[in-house]
């Protein structure tokens, strides 16, 4: 008690009365990668404050710090004027902070009531809780059957359960991580009216999103994050979607060699895609009629916020996922649904997004990983056996050429750093005659040095006549490398832009779903 | 005849029942403990030794509880805090229990200790048939009668049971509503180990009334299978344990009757049945259907990124 008062009274930096939550200089690193870089943030009583940014900007990390799931490496958290240490979600809840996670935190085999009651203190029976659930759902328009099992609910209902869970715990700071990404437009409207109601009652809301329209509709203030940094905090009245898009994607194109567009004349069409459609893992159509082509020596950049069909597109092209309709032509030959072997045989290369899961076999050695695509045939195999001498020689050559740092070529590749793993993947995918390269987030999680290496190799491939399809979320990367740019949004492609900075804002708006008459 | 078979089934099933109950608690929290065999052996020896020294079978049970708790604490530290692979740690615990009990038990082979003996319960023991089958046993059997419905009620009908199940199903969710995943897992792994050790003590203090090296004879492994067989439900654990106990005592009886089947084949029965049960229900799809705790064998770490 006394120490609390001392801090409150004695510290001149204590935030003003109407600030319920204040973060000062929050730093959070994950094995050396900075996810939050001295972030300052404050939340006022009775406001809806949006956190806007691309995937990987550090929004979720920041709210996980507030909720006690992550411990910050440095920085301070102030709640209602006192400095606090939030070491667990239990502590966060006791401070009146509640969070709705992007992937719901509900036990599927439990009923709604059981989920709400879980961890709740001071109730006599589940019937009492069910009664309260009913009251709250009526009061806030959050309709849900208290006795339904959670696995039977729609995602919209699950989200309502999450919110009810928090309201029953009397939280006054609500954090919602990408709440609308799973909702239908109608459900989104219902959610917004609930949020407005909560705001009118004096509760404060942190609303994470990358959709500009929503942010402009619901929030009072907006804090834009990019690459772990807070770019700016603005009042809604003082800004526009265009300005926010600019802040979100970053104005300057800082990285990489700029003298890339050496040739503007490209060769034959290598990859041609017509009206491609495919379903995602959840059985929802995620590719909804894509058509494009890539020529020899050309890099086509596909920009977009993650989760708009990029992964499925890459998987269909390389033969890892079935297309439900449409055609994929590789050098004029129909390879639709023919499998990855055909793609490889025809000279296709693939740099996957998740290199640990799809790019390498983590427990195999460098040598084995380097020959993964070619070991079936001479000169690597002789009849039943592998020519390991030859494989070793090739591996030595590639390790040297692509400067892969490792504890040894016979060591398992899981010991390699992210940058070196990517060098290895690139060495394997680009060595030899590559007609077509699908590069999916090729610099994801890499530091600047490794990033430049990847850029260099992609540009080399282009110069040698390879057709490159670059799918990336980072607009800097898209602009640095591409000869043409298209935007993917909800499974459709929009526009066809030259890599000219004057289109940056338009592209940013398209990524955020502000279509403005662009045709798919 | 039937009376005697049922009675023997309960007697032979009781050590299995204690171990199965214990493992149900551990697995409900998401931790697989394959060290049951070792825990039972440790409990059997400790129970016998304490009873031998103090001449009190109840103090023997206390000793078994203690050794079960201590060994499971080590196991909990390895698997929950250090996140060691649970299969590997479980096998290690089995070998540790077998090795330690074999070594320290040498001095107690052929010794005697105070034993549990059947207790007559007025009225109940006099009921025809049922009285003989259910109420002609020793106190540890009666205790298990109480423990089974109590455990069922605790797991499925109380707040603490709900916390336990939530941690085993979805530790992240439990964590986000303020339940300490680590505390819960430690608690139930230790509780489970204690119950398992009592199952072992039953063997040396009531069932055979002596200490023999490796006297559990694979009962720990059978209990691992029974947990799955009973779908992590204490009530079904009772039926499953008595069923297996029945098979085990039946084969003795068949041998005694002089049926012309090799005794080696008959002795295989419970183990063969275990293998059949395990292969029938160990497919991923089947485990989901019968409600295996979703987070079973998955260590939890708050800061692990998905």
- Percentage of chain B lying above the pLDDT 90 cut: 73
> For the range A398-402, what are the long-range contacts, defined as Cβ-Cβ under 8 Å and sequence gap of 24 or more?
A398/A370, A398/A427, A398/A428, A398/A431, A399/A366, A399/A370, A399/A427, A401/A427, A402/A426, A402/A427, A402/A457
Domain count, chain B: 1
Give A111's DSSP letter: B
Mean pLDDT for the stretch of residues B223-227: 93
What would the pLDDT profile of A6-64 be if each residue is shown by its tens digit?
444 444 455 677 899 999 999 998 776 788 999 999 999 999 999 998 766 889 899 99
Rounded-to-integer distance, Cα A162 and Cα A309, Å: 27
The pLDDT of residue A260 is 52
Mean pLDDT for the stretch of residues A159-187: 88
Mean pLDDT for the stretch of residues A416-428: 86
Is residue B19 one of the residues assigned to a domain? Answer: yes
Domain with residue B44: its CATH number is: 1.10.3470
Does residue A215 sit in helix, strand or coil?
helix
Interface mutation vs chain A, best among B177, B180, B183, B296, most A CBs within 10 Å: B177
* CB–CB contact A88 B159 (8 Å): no
Question: In Å, how far is A161's CA from the nearest CA of chain B?
Answer: 13
Q: Beta strand A173-176 with A97-100: parallel, antiparallel or unpaired?
A: parallel
Residue A379: cis peptide before it, omega within 30 degrees of 0: yes
* CB–CB contact B166 A110 (8 Å): yes
Rounded-to-integer distance, Cα A505 and Cα A247, Å: 10
Residues of A with CB under 8 A from a CB of B: 30, 67, 69-71, 88-90, 93-94, 99, 101, 103, 105-110, 114-115, 117-120, 165
What would the pLDDT profile of A332-347 be if each residue is shown by its tens digit?
999 999 999 999 999 9
Of B159, B166, B180, nearest to A107 by CB-CB distance is B166
Is residue B300 one of the residues assigned to a domain? Answer: no
Q: How confident is the model at residue A264 (pLDDT cuts 50, 70, 90)?
A: low
What would the pLDDT profile of A80-124 be if each residue is shown by its tens digit?
999 999 999 999 999 999 999 988 899 988 999 999 999 888 777
Is residue B306 one of the residues assigned to a domain? Answer: no
Looking at A76-85, A412-421, A482-491, B17-26, which range is the least confident one? Answer: A412-421
The pLDDT of residue A12 is 45
Question: In Å, how far is B294's CA from the nearest CA of chain A?
Answer: 10
Is residue B302 one of the residues assigned to a domain? Answer: no
The pLDDT of residue A15 is 62
Q: How many Cβ atoms from other residues are within 10 Å of residue A16's Cβ?
A: 9
Q: Which residue has the tokens 């109380």?
A: B158
Question: In Å, how far is A395's CA from the nearest CA of chain B?
Answer: 32
pLDDT at A172 exceeding the cut of 70: yes
Q: How confident is the model at residue A251 (pLDDT cuts 50, 70, 90)?
A: low
Question: In Å, how far is A169's CA from the nearest CA of chain B?
Answer: 10
* CB–CB contact A99 B159 (8 Å): no
Give A172's DSSP letter: S
Mean pLDDT for the stretch of residues A122-130: 87
Is residue B297 one of the residues assigned to a domain? Answer: no
Count of CB contacts below 8 A, A vs B? 67
pLDDT at A511 exceeding the cut of 50: yes
Looking at A333-337, A388-392, B300-304, which range is the least confident one? Answer: B300-304
Helix B86-105 / helix B36-54 crossing angle, nearest 10 deg: 30
Is residue B217 one of the residues assigned to a domain? Answer: yes
What would the pLDDT profile of A196-237 be if each residue is shown by its tens digit?
999 999 999 999 987 788 899 999 999 999 888 999 999 999
Residues 6 or more apart in contact with residue B284 via CB below 8 angstroms: none
- Percentage of chain A lying above the pLDDT 90 cut: 55
* CB–CB contact A69 B179 (8 Å): no
Residue ranges making up the domain that contains B145: 2-290
Mean pLDDT for the stretch of residues A355-362: 84
- Name the E strands within A400-463: 436-440
Of A90, A101, A107, nearest to B169 by CB-CB distance is A107
Give A149's DSSP letter: B
Of A29, A28, A107, nearest to A66 (Cα)? A28
**pTM for this structure?**
0.74
Could you tell me if B226 and B241 are in contact, meaning their C-beta atoms sit under 8 angstroms apart?
yes
Interface mutation vs chain B, best among A119, A158, A167, most B CBs within 10 Å: A119
Could you tell me if A216 and A483 are in contact, meaning their C-beta atoms sit under 8 angstroms apart?
no
Of A85, A45, A350, nearest to A200 (Cα)? A45
Closest residue on chain B to A121 (Cα): B159
Bridge partners of A295, per DSSP, are A269
Q: State the complex-level ipTM.
A: 0.85
What would the pLDDT profile of A432-452 be if each residue is shown by its tens digit?
789 999 999 898 767 666 778
Closest residue on chain A to B292 (Cα): A109
Of B177, B291, B305, nearest to A118 by CB-CB distance is B177
Is residue B305 one of the residues assigned to a domain? Answer: no
Closest residue on chain B to A113 (Cα): B162
The pLDDT of residue A227 is 83
Could you tell me if B169 and A109 are in contact, meaning their C-beta atoms sit under 8 angstroms apart?
yes
Q: How confident is the model at residue B43 (pLDDT cuts 50, 70, 90)?
A: very high
Is residue B173 one of the residues assigned to a domain? Answer: yes
For residues A231, A237, A239 and A244, what is the CA-based torsion angle, rounded to 10 degrees?
60
Half-sphere exposure of A235 (CA within 13 A, CB side): 4
Provide, as residue numbers in chain B, all residues whose Cβ is less than 8 Å from the Cβ of A120. Answer: 177
Q: Which pair of structure tokens corresponds to residue A356? A: 């640990």
Query: Cα angle vertex B92, ends B86, B94, to 5°?
Result: 105
Give B77's DSSP letter: I
Bridge partners of A412, per DSSP, are A365
């Amino acid at each position: 008690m006394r120490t609390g008062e001392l801090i409150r009274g004695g510290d001149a930096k204590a935030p003003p009365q109407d600030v319920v939550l204040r973060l000062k200089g929050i730093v959070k690193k994950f094995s050396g990668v900075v996810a939050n870089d001295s972030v300052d943030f404050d939340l006022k009583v009775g406001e809806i404050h949006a956190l806007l940014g691309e995937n990987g900007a550090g929004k979720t990390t920041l709210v996980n710090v507030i909720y006690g799931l992550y411990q910050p490496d440095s920085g301070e958290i102030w709640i209602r004027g006192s400095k606090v240490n939030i070491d667990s979600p239990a502590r966060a809840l006791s401070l009146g902070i509640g969070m709705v996670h992007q992937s719901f935190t509900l036990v599927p085999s439990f009923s709604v009531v059981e989920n709400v009651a879980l961890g709740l203190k001071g109730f006599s029976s589940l019937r009492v809780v069910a009664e309260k659930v009913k009251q709250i759902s009526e009061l806030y328009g959050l309709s849900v059957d208290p006795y339904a099992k959670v696995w039977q609910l729609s995602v919209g209902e699950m989200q309502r359960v999450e919110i009810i869970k928090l309201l029953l715990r009397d939280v006054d700071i609500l954090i919602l991580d990408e709440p609308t990404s799973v909702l239908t437009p109608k459900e989104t409207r219902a959610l917004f009216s609930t949020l407005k109601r909560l705001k009118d009652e004096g509760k404060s809301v942190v609303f994470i999103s990358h959709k500009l329209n929503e942010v402009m509709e619901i929030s009072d203030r907006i804090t834009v994050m990019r690459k772990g940094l807070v770019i700016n905090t603005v009042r809604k009245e003082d800004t526009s979607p265009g300005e926010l898009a600019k802040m979100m994607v970053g104005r300057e194109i800082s990285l990489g060699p700029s003298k890339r567009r050496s040739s503007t004349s490209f060769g034959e069409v290598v990859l041609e895609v017509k009206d491609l459609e495919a379903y995602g893992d959840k059985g929802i159509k995620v590719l909804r009629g894509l058509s494009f082509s890539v020529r020899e020596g050309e890099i086509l950049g596909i920009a977009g916020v993650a989760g708009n069909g990029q992964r499925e597109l890459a998987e269909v092209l390389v033969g890892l996922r079935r297309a439900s309709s449409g055609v994929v032509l590789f050098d004029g030959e129909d390879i639709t649904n023919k499998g990855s072997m055909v793609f490889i045989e025809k000279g296709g290369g693939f740099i996957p997004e998740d290199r640990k899961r799809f790019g390498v076999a983590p427990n195999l050695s460098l040598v084995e990983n380097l020959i993964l695509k070619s070991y079936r045939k001479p000169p690597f195999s002789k009849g039943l056996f592998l020519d390991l001498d030859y494989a070793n020689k090739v591996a030595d050559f590639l390790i040297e050429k692509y400067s892969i740092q490792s504890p040894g070529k016979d060591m398992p590749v899981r010991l390699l750093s992210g940058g070196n793993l990517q060098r290895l993947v690139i060495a394997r995918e680009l060595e030899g005659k590559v007609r077509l390269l699908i590069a999916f987030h090729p610099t994801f999680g890499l530091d600047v040095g490794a990033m430049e290496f990847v850029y260099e190799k992609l540009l080399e491939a282009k110069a040698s006549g390879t057709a490159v399809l670059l799918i990336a979320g980072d607009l800097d990367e898209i602009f640095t490398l591409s000869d043409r740019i298209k935007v993917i949004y909800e499974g459709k492609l929009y526009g066809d832009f030259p890599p000219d900075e004057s289109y940056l804002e338009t592209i940013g708006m398209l990524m955020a779903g502000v279509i403005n008459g662009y045709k798919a | 005849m039937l009376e005697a078979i049922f009675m023997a089934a309960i007697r032979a099933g009781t050590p299995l029942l204690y171990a199965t109950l214990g493992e149900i608690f551990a697995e409900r929290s998401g931790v697989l403990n394959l060290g049951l065999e070792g825990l039972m052996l440790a409990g059997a020896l400790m129970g016998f030794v304490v009873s031998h020294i103090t001449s009190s079978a109840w103090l023997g049970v206390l000793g078994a509880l203690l050794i079960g708790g201590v060994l499971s604490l080590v196991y909990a530290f390895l698997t929950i805090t250090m996140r060691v692979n649970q299969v590997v740690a479980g096998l290690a615990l089995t070998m540790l229990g077998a090795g330690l009990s074999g070594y320290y038990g040498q001095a107690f082979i052929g010794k005697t200790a105070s034993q549990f003996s059947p207790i007559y319960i007025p009225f109940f023991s006099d009921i025809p048939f049922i009285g003989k089958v259910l109420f002609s046993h020793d106190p540890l059997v009666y205790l298990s009668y109480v423990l089974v419905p109590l455990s069922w009620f605790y797991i499925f009908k109380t707040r603490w049971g709900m916390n336990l199940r939530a941690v085993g199903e979805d530790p992240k969710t439990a964590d986000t509503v303020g339940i300490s995943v680590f505390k819960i897992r430690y608690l139930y792994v230790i509780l489970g180990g204690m119950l398992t050790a009592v199952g072992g003590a039953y063997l040396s203090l009531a069932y055979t009334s002596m200490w023999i090296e490796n006297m559990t004879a694979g009962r720990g492994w059978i209990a691992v299978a029974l947990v799955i067989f009973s779908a992590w439900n204490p009530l079904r654990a009772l039926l499953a344990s008595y069923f297996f106990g029945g098979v085990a005592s039946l084969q003795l009886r068949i041998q005694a009757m002089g049926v012309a089947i090799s005794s080696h084949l008959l002795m295989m029965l419970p183990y063969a049945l275990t293998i059949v049960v395990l292969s029938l229900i160990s497919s991923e799809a089947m485990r989901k259907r019968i409600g295996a705790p979703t987070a079973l064998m998955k260590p939890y770490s708050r800061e692990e990124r998905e």
